[in-house]
C-alpha cells in the first residue's frame, strides 16, 4: 500500500515539476525574444537617426553588416537584409507607440512577415495580436494574411457578444471568420455534405490551419445520446485558448434558419454531457456554401447559445460584396480591444 501511494504521489510531483520547467522555459524564451526585438529596434533607431543627421546613404547598412559579422561571428541576424528590416521596423512603427509595445510579443520572423504583407497599422495590429493570442506559427500567419483573415473576421456573424461570458466574448469573436477558404479540397461541381465532410477530414491539417491553428480535432460524426436516441455532430473540435468545445455542422447549400435550432440542441447536449466544469460554454459554427446576411442576423437574434454562421469558398478571393461590409475604423478598434 505504501509503495502504491508513493508511486501515485510521485507521479503528481513529477507532473508538477515538469509543468514548472515548461513554464520557466517559456518565460526564458519570451525574455530572450523581447531582448532581441529591443536590440533590433535600437539598431534600427540609430541607423535612422544617423541617416537623418548625417545624410548617410544605403552604403552604411552594407558596411554595418560586414563589420558586425566580423565582430560577432557566431551571432545570427546581422545580414544586410536583416539590418534593412531593422531600419524599416523603426520607420514603420516609429510614430505608433501602441504597436511599439506589441511587437515584442511575437518573434522577429513574425514581425517581418507582418511588415512585408500588411497595408496599414490597423491590419498590422490585428495580426500581431492574433499571432500572440492564438499562438500562430509563421506559416499559419502567412496563410491567414493571404486569405484576408483581417477583413473576414471583422465582418463575421455571431451572437457571441450577447451570450458568452465577458472574459472570452472578444477572443471568441476574433476566432471566427465570416468566410473560410478551402482551396486545398479537390471538389468540383456537385457534391454531397458527406463528400464535403470526408474531404475535410482527409485534409485535417490544412483545415485546422485555415480555422486559425488554435483548434484540435476531437471527432468526426461525434455521437451524442439524448433521451435514448443518437445524434451525430459532423465535426467536433476543441479550442485550446478559449478552452471550449466547438461543434461544426457542414452544409453544401444556402443557410436556412432551422439550422440554428439544431445547433442549439447540440450545444445544450455538449454542455450537459461532455463539457467539464473547468471549460467555457461550447460554441457552434454552421458552415454553409452561401448565406444571406439578413437572414443570418434574424436567425441568431433569439439564440441563447453561442453560434456563428460562416460561408466557405474553394477559391481564395475576397468577394467584392464583403468589402462593403467592413466596419469603420472605430468599430475595428473596439473589436481589437482599444475602446
Cβ atoms 65, 16 nearer than 8 A: no
CB contact at 8 A, 312 and 319 = no
Where is pLDDT greater, at 321 or 11? 11
Measured CA angle at 316 (ends 313, 317), to 5 deg: 100
Pick the more confident residue, 291 or 143.
291
**What's the mean pLDDT in 50-70?**
82
Sole residue written with cell 466557405? 312
Taking only the tens place, the pLDDT of each residue in 162-181 is 999 988 988 898 889 999 98
pLDDT, the chain, mean: 87
Task: Give the angle 223-227-232 at the CA atoms, nearest 5°.
Answer: 20
Contacts of 279 (CB under 8 A, 6+ apart): 243, 244, 245
Query: Which pLDDT band, with edges at 50, 70 and 90, does 335 fall under?
Result: low
pLDDT over 50 at 339, yes or no: no
- Under 8 Å CB-to-CB from 167, ≥6 apart: which residues? none
- Quick one: which of 135, 51, 57, 138 has its CA closest to 90? 51
- Mean of pLDDT values over 266-290: 95
Count of CB atoms within 10 A of residue 84's CB?
A: 16
Higher pLDDT, 289 or 15: 289
Q: What is the pLDDT of residues 258-276, one digit of tens each?
A: 999 999 999 999 999 999 9
Q: What is the pLDDT of residues 106-122, one digit of tens each?
A: 999 999 999 999 989 99
- Look at residue 291 in the predicted model and tell me its pLDDT: 96
How confident is the model at residue 1, as a pLDDT? 47
Predicted model pTM:
0.71
State the residue for C-alpha cell 486545398: 184
- pLDDT reported for residue 37: 93
Please say if the pLDDT value at position 287 is more than 90. yes
pLDDT digits (tens, 9 = 90+) for 179-212: 998 988 888 778 999 999 999 999 999 999 899 8
Residue 218 has pLDDT above 90, yes or no: yes
Angstrom distances, CA of residue 267 to CA of 224, 227, 307: 11, 15, 9
- Whole-number pLDDT of residue 258: 96
Q: Is the pLDDT of residue 328 over 70?
A: no
**Domains, the chain, with CATH or none:** 2-150 (no CATH), 153-335 (3.40.1350.10)
Amino acid at each position: 500500500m505504501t509503495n502504491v501511494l508513493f508511486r501515485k504521489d510521485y507521479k503528481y510531483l513529477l507532473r508538477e515539476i515538469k509543468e514548472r520547467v515548461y513554464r520557466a522555459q517559456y518565460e526564458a524564451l519570451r525574455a530572450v525574444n523581447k531582448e532581441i526585438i529591443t536590440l533590433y529596434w535600437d539598431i534600427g533607431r540609430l541607423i535612422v537617426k544617423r541617416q537623418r543627421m548625417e545624410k548617410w546613404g544605403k552604403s552604411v547598412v552594407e558596411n554595418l553588416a560586414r563589420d558586425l559579422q566580423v565582430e560577432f561571428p557566431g551571432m545570427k541576424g546581422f545580414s544586410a537584409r536583416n539590418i534593412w528590416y531593422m531600419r524599416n521596423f523603426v520607420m514603420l512603427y516609429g510614430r505608433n507607440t501602441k504597436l511599439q509595445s506589441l511587437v515584442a510579443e511575437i518573434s522577429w520572423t513574425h514581425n517581418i512577415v507582418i511588415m512585408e504583407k500588411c497595408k496599414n497599422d490597423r491590419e498590422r495590429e490585428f495580426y500581431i495580436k492574433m499571432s500572440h493570442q492564438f499562438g500562430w506559427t509563421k506559416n499559419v500567419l502567412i496563410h491567414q494574411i493571404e486569405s484576408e483573415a483581417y477583413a473576414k473576421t471583422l465582418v463575421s456573424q455571431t451572437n457571441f457578444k450577447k451570450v458568452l461570458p465577458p472574459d472570452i466574448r472578444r477572443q471568441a469573436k476574433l476566432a471566427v471568420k465570416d468566410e473560410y477558404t478551402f482551396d486545398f479540397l479537390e471538389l468540383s461541381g456537385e457534391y454531397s455534405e458527406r463528400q464535403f465532410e470526408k474531404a475535410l477530414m482527409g485534409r485535417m491539417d490544412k483545415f485546422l490551419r485555415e480555422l486559425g491553428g488554435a483548434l484540435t480535432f476531437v471527432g468526426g460524426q461525434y455521437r451524442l445520446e439524448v433521451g435514448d436516441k443518437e445524434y451525430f455532430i459532423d465535426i467536433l473540435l476543441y479550442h485550446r485558448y478559449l478552452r471550449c468545445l466547438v461543434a461544426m455542422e457542414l452544409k453544401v447549400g444556402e443557410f436556412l434558419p432551422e439550422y440554428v435550432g439544431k445547433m442549439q440542441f447540440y450545444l445544450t447536449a455538449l454542455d450537459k454531457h461532455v463539457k467539464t466544469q473547468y471549460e467555457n460554454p461550447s460554441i457552434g459554427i454552421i458552415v454553409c456554401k452561401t448565406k444571406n446576411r439578413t437572414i443570418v442576423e434574424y436567425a441568431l437574434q433569439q439564440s441563447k447559445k453561442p453560434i456563428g454562421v460562416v460561408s466557405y469558398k474553394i477559391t481564395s478571393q475576397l468577394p467584392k460584396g464583403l468589402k462593403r461590409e467592413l466596419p469603420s475604423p472605430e468599430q475595428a478598434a473596439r473589436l481589437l480591444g482599444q475602446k
